[in-house]
Amino acid sequence: MIDQFFRLLSMFVMLFNMCNQSDFNRQQCMKDWDVWLYPELVKGWDLYTEKEKPYQREKEILEDINN
């Protein structure tokens, strides 16, 4: 439990650092959250709760191409 808390905290710190590297990054991080942030949070939650497997969508695309 405490390990998961620290993992979440480190992810927030990494996002904060990435968004504050430059003025351009800061401007891009502050807009269009519905395009880049929320879908990735949903995808991360689905991976965490094992509703989806890592690279599942890519595997399905490759299977469609090969069949």
How confident is the model over 27-37, as pLDDT tens digits? 999 998 899 88
**pLDDT confidence band for 1 (50 / 70 / 90):** confident
Boundaries of every domain in the chain:
1-31, 32-67
Residue 36: which H helix or E strand, with range? Answer: helix 33-48
Q: Is the dihedral of CA 13, 18, 23, 26 positive or negative?
A: negative
Residue 9 has a pLDDT of 94
Looking at residue 50, its pLDDT comes to 93
Cα–Cα dist 28/50, whole Å: 30
In angstroms, the CA 26 to CA 42 distance is 22
pTM for this entry: 0.69
